[in-house]
Structure 1
Amino acid sequence: MRADETVVLGRTELRVTRLGLGLASLGGLFTPVSDEDAARTVDRAWDVGVRLFDTAPVYGYGRSECRAGAALRSRPRERYTLCTKVGRLIVPGGGDTQPIWADPPPGVGPRRDYSYAGVMRSVEDSLERLGLDRIDVLHVHDPDEDFPTAVTDAYRALAELRRRGTVGAVSIGVNHAPVAARYLEEVAAPGPDCVMLAGRYNLLDQSGLDALLPLCAARGVAVMAAGVYQSGLLADPRPDAPHGYTHLPAELSRQVTAWHALCDRFDVPPKAAAVQFPFGHPAVTSVVVGARTPAEVEETARMLAHPLPGAFWTAVRQAGLLHARVPLPAE
């Protein structure tokens, strides 16, 4: 599969590339990134064919959106798909801060707000930071933070923005699959067009398959799979690597070791197996992977296109690394 291959995003008229670039890293996730490196990273993604870009106000407290806009707004608007999120306003003195951002702008921070007015303000602020006049995909970010409001007021705002054409598709961005399944069940019709699922459909965690992915497939809701490296754990399992784990549970460590051993046996890069795995499920349209350097973008594109022997996935089954119900790309 190629990074520049496109597919229709569920039941919408949007087309997205199979590989998307997540822009949290360019907001300073775990480690600082310069404006120049951020621009070069987006430029390289464009060069390898990526046309799907995902950001959020909370990523670096507005920094990621500013950098995304600076890198993209000179390019033909109809040639790329831009996603951002609502649920947190970036305001002076915002107190819902997160320690994962290396060098956030001084004096501002996030404040949770899933109200109708809060969503509308968030979109206005995002468009200003981006320097654009529309958003292709708008996610309700972490709706579990205030589920009753996110499933009513926030969705009502998004549905109105979709009708106006300010937003091309309505989505939710979640880290917990049951939250997404509940959202799809409870929200007013016609509901979201897609779901961004982070860290719950990859080689180490397939909990998205319990209820969410079958529900999405049945309803024509597209799934963007993020977190395919499990916060970087599959890419670099070293204890001192910036993968977000301060303590690695023994069972998870065992799984990582087993995956690396099997990949070594078949001369398969673990990143190739990780980035290709989600496409075994028919609901998954794209994989969104973060990068902070042009080299990381290039590597991910190579991993997506790297040929995997059919015997590899057979061996995965035999080793018991994935449950029999999990669909695989070779099947």
Structure 2
Amino acid sequence: MLLDKRKIGNTSLRVDSLGFGCASVGNLYRMLSDQDACDVLNQAWEKGFRHFDTAPHYGQGLSERRVGDMLRSRGESDYVLSTKVGRILKPAGYAKERHGFRSTMPFDIEYDYSYDGVMRSFEHSLQRLGLDRIDILYMHDIGSVTHGDAHELLFDQAMTGGYKAMDELRQQGVIKAIGLGVNEYQVCEQALEHGDWDCFLLAGRYTLLEQEALHSFLPKCEQRNCSIIIGGPYNSGILATGTRKVSEPYYNYAPAPQNIINKVAKIEAVCDEFGLPIAAAALQFPLAHPCVASVIPGVGKAKMIQSTLDLFNADIPAEFWQSLILQGLISDSSPIPKAK
């Protein structure tokens, strides 16, 4: 499989337009055996995936270990790997489900966005991965959605100490790009005033279902040549399953509210009219925006690798997108994908 490659900001780094989100191999929501995790990662590699995103948070180190094992076994360097800083793993004396991950790793997390904390997190990730390089480093979950009232204090720490550490690593050539990995575009927009960022990994906030980021955030990214990697293109599931095939569709990591279900049902009706899976539209829609370099769905089963590629490569006529615009289901200012 050959995927088009897109440039990250002002860097020399180029990423595949379809990447692999590695939260699932950190046992997000369900246990995955070492063999099953190995199978899905190897199948992804065999099918041509070369853009992998992981984090210490994903299974409290489990995802990084599994991703590193696969990449080392390949003995090749033609991949782009991203991970995240902001959480230090501390021995917990137990292994069980926490933070949504059914992890077998006996660690828990401590937030630390300081200069020293970011440097420690980076070094720890290299060791867990068993690799000598990380290409993109994201500051993870620095926003009010995660931290509530503590957000402003931690944001100040992150934009001074944490950013300084990341910028030093970039200037030294140790990493190629820096950014934020978050679930809210507002904190990215805020961060643009405090540093020179190459990219943002934005989960769930510019999708077939949500385009609020078009109003101010994405234009600012265009002005500064800051790339966007879209995580959570299915909005936690509802844009993959639709509303009819599951008893309780999920949106934003929780059961979907009725207004979201109603809107997705209307999008599904248009998909039915054109004979398209809603998941295909969800994967392809964000990439039409000039700032978006890649979309990285999570894939937790080896058999889903090929089906994900099929969805990504499905032919979608321009009339489909125009119908969504005319019915008010996507913003009329949304760039729309060109027919393949």
User: Normalized against structure 2, the TM-score is what?
Assistant: 0.91
Q: 1:55 to 1:3 in 2, by over 3 A?
A: farther
1:205 aligns with 2:210: yes
Match of 1:47 in 2: 46
Matched ranges for 1:167-186 at <5 A:
167-186=175-194
Query: 2-side partners of 1:168 and 1:130: how far apart?
Result: 17
Q: 1:242 to 1:3 in 2, by over 3 A?
A: farther
Deviation at 1:3, TM superposition (A): 5.9
Secondary structure at the aligned position of 1:135 is classed as coil
1:312 aligns with 2:320: yes
Secondary structure at the aligned position of 1:192 is classed as coil
Query: 1-side partners of 2:44 and 2:332: how far apart?
Result: 35
Amino acid at match of 2:40: T
Query: 1-side partners of 2:103 and 2:301: how far apart?
Result: 17
Matched ranges for 1:167-246 at <5 A:
167-187=175-195, 191-236=196-241, 237=243, 238-240=246-248, 245-246=253-254
* Structure 2: 5+ residue stretches without partners: 148-153
Query: 2-side partners of 1:179 and 1:79: how far apart?
Result: 32
Q: Once superposed, what is the RMSD of the aligned Cα atoms?
A: 1.9
Query: 1-side partners of 2:259 and 2:44: how far apart?
Result: 35
Match of 2:161 in 1: 153
Match of 2:329 in 1: 321
Q: Which runs of 4+ in 1 moved over 6 A?
A: none
* Structure 1: 5+ residue stretches without partners: none
Deviation at 1:98, TM superposition (A): 4.1
Q: 1:143 to 1:94 in 2, by over 3 A?
A: farther
Check whether the contact 1:4–1:51 (CA below 8 A) recurs between aligned residues: no
1:111 aligns with 2:116: no
Deviation at 1:174, TM superposition (A): 1.2
Matched ranges for 1:285-304 at <5 A:
285-304=293-312
Secondary structure at the aligned position of 1:68 is classed as helix
Match of 1:102 in 2: 102
Superposed CA deviations along residues 81-121 of structure 1, whole A, max 9, x for unmatched, are 000000001111399x9431123423x10110001111111
Amino acid at match of 1:204: L
Superposed CA deviations along residues 38-74 of structure 1, whole A, max 9, x for unmatched, are 1111111112221100000010000000000001123
Amino acid at match of 1:210: H
Matched ranges for 1:248-259 at <5 A:
248-259=256-267
1:124 aligns with 2:123: yes
1:18 aligns with 2:26: no
- Percent sequence identity is 41
Deviation at 1:34, TM superposition (A): 1.1
Secondary structure at the aligned position of 1:234 is classed as helix
Query: 2-side partners of 1:297 and 1:151: how far apart?
Result: 37
Query: 2-side partners of 1:39 and 1:22: how far apart?
Result: 14
Deviation at 1:186, TM superposition (A): 2.2
Amino acid at match of 1:294: A
Q: 1:74 to 1:165 in 2, by over 3 A?
A: farther
Query: 2-side partners of 1:12 and 1:22: how far apart?
Result: 22
Q: 1:175 to 1:87 in 2, by over 3 A?
A: same
Superposed CA deviations along residues 267-311 of structure 1, whole A, max 9, x for unmatched, are 011111000000111000100110111122211111111101121
Query: 2-side partners of 1:262 and 1:105: how far apart?
Result: 44
Superposed CA deviations along residues 9-63 of structure 1, whole A, max 9, x for unmatched, are 2211111111110000110100111111111111111122211000000100000
Check whether the contact 1:202–1:229 (CA below 8 A) recurs between aligned residues: yes
Amino acid at match of 2:111: R
Amino acid at match of 1:99: H
Check whether the contact 2:248–2:255 (CA below 8 A) recurs between aligned residues: no
Amino acid at match of 1:176: E
Check whether the contact 1:30–1:242 (CA below 8 A) recurs between aligned residues: no
Q: 1:143 to 1:6 in 2, by over 3 A?
A: same
Check whether the contact 2:204–2:252 (CA below 8 A) recurs between aligned residues: no
Q: 1:94 to 1:241 in 2, by over 3 A?
A: farther
Query: 1-side partners of 2:23 and 2:44: how far apart?
Result: 15
1:281 aligns with 2:303: no
Superposed CA deviations along residues 147-185 of structure 1, whole A, max 9, x for unmatched, are 111111111000111122221111111111111011012
Amino acid at match of 2:160: T
Query: 1-side partners of 2:221 and 2:98: how far apart?
Result: 31
Q: 1:131 to 1:19 in 2, by over 3 A?
A: same
Query: 1-side partners of 2:170 and 2:93: how far apart?
Result: 28
**What number of residue pairs does the alignment pair up?**
325
Q: Which 10-residue stretch deviates more, 293-302 or 238-247?
A: 238-247
Secondary structure at the aligned position of 1:85 is classed as strand
Check whether the contact 1:3–1:301 (CA below 8 A) recurs between aligned residues: no
